């Protein structure tokens, strides 16, 4: 019989008050809450922010293992969907209900930096995160800021499954983090409200919002744009008011932020590939027996594949909606134009190599070759 995952949605007012105080929920919502309900493992979305609790089979057990999973992204994100539809039910089924999974969305347990610190300290089981909060622990993860590192998703998958991924995972383990699975945010693409961008010359003078990342800023400045670091929370208004002309994000992110309402042009640059890591606390991992570790590992691998499938399907559907429903003009770079973008930003690879060291760069060169 298919197991169910209880969805315990915290009241919006509670979430707002916690966020306003700079606090994060540290445990699941009470199962006695009037907002509680049950959904199948398909990941039904019943509220803005919620803690998705362990299955009915784990409730009432005296000492079940409970695995909390933190997400900075919201409940409609591919990561949360895949955790609910694949990871949680697979773990609970394969453990006969002895392991419960609680999935938290919307940074309820803290932002990615805070959640990463909790993982390292053994205060949180799992955090699904980008590389950004991890580079301070493992500088070699900076390779993912190299422009035009991967040609496509297949190459990204292949390299992460190679010695490159093994090396990075070993480095993470040395810092108290077990990467159970690679998943993804995806390829970043350029958007703007001024004109179509089909060449480097078309980038000149555009004010492009970037993250607070010196390599991302260098990328756009090297292409002739004016890189403008800005919080994502300010970006919609900045685009609407013309404070910046454009931005760069994976299409699924672009669409979820509703930037299609204030942008007219998309260029499929694939200039940065952003992986996610399903990171487990080594301190907690080491307390589990081999059977429990195997159950979590197998479910995590299945989750990673499902998350990527959901993300890539969403990106394709969102892009088509941008064209059909919003009249956005989409440009694909020719091979000649792409080569010019690559040439203009090639020096950034050397800049990043100075921080990551030669060992990971040698492995990367071999994997790419």
Helix count and strand count (H, E) for the chain: 15, 12
Quote the pLDDT of residue 232.
87
41 near 88, Cβ under 8 Å? yes
- What are φ and ψ of residue 293, in 5° steps? -60, -40
pTM of whole model > 0.85? no
Quote the pLDDT of residue 276.
98
58 near 100, Cβ under 8 Å? yes
226 near 207, Cβ under 8 Å? yes
* The Cα angle at residue 217 between residues 214 and 222, in degrees rounded to 5: 120
Give the chain's residues under pLDDT 70.
1-63
Q: What are the tens digits of pLDDT across the range 129-147?
A: 999 999 999 999 999 999 9
- CATH numeric code, 4-138+151-185+275-314: 3.40.190.170
User: Domain 187-273+315-368 in CATH: superfamily?
Assistant: Bacterial extracellular solute-binding protein, family 7 (3.40.190.170)
- How do the domains of the chain map onto residue ranges? 4-138+151-185+275-314, 187-273+315-368
Quote the pLDDT of residue 368.
87
Quote the pLDDT of residue 74.
86
Quote the pLDDT of residue 61.
60
49 near 12, Cβ under 8 Å? yes
DSSP 83: I
Q: Do domains 4-138+151-185+275-314 and 187-273+315-368 have the same CATH topology?
A: yes
């Amino acid at each position: 019989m298919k197991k169910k995952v209880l969805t315990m949605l915290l009241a919006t007012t509670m979430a707002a008050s916690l966020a306003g105080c700079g606090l994060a929920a540290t445990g699941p919502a009470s199962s006695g809450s009037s907002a509680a309900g049950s959904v199948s493992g398909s990941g039904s979305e019943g509220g803005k922010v919620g803690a998705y609790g362990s299955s009915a089979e784990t409730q009432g057990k005296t000492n079940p293992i409970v695995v909390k999973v933190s997400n900075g992204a919201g409940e409609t994100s591919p990561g949360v969907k895949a955790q609910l539809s694949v990871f949680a039910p697979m773990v609970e089924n394969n453990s006969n209900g002895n392991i419960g999974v609680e999935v938290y969305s919307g940074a309820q347990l803290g932002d990615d930096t805070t959640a990463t610190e909790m993982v390292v300290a053994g205060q949180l089981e799992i955090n699904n995160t980008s590389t950004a909060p991890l580079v301070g622990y493992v500088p070699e993860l900076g390779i993912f800021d190299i422009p035009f590192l991967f040609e496509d998703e297949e190459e990204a998958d292949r390299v992460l499954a190679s010695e490159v991924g093994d090396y990075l995972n070993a480095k993470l383990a040395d810092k108290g983090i077990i990467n159970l699975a690679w998943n993804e945010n995806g390829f970043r693409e350029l958007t703007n409200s001024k004109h179509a961008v089909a060449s480097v010359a078309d980038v000149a003078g555009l004010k492009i919002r970037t993250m607070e990342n010196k390599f991302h800023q260098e990328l756009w400045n090297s292409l002739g744009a004016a890189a403008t670091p800005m919080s994502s929370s300010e970006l919609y208004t900045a685009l609407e008011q013309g404070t910046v002309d454009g931005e760069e994000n994976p299409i699924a992110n672009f669409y979820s932020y509703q930037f299609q309402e204030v942008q007219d042009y998309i260029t499929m640059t694939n200039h940065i590939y952003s992986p996610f890591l399903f990171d487990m606390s080594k301190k907690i991992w080491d307390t589990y027996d081999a059977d429990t570790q195997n159950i979590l590992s197998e479910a995590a691998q299945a989750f990673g594949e499902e998350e990527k499938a959901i993300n890539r399907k969403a990106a394709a559907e969102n892009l088509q909606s941008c064209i059909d429903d919003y009249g956005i003009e989409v440009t694909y770079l020719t091979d000649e134009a792409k080569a010019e973008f690559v040439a203009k930003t090639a020096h950034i690879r050397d800049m990043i190599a100075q921080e990551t060291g030669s060992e990971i760069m040698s492995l990367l060169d071999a994997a790419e070759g």
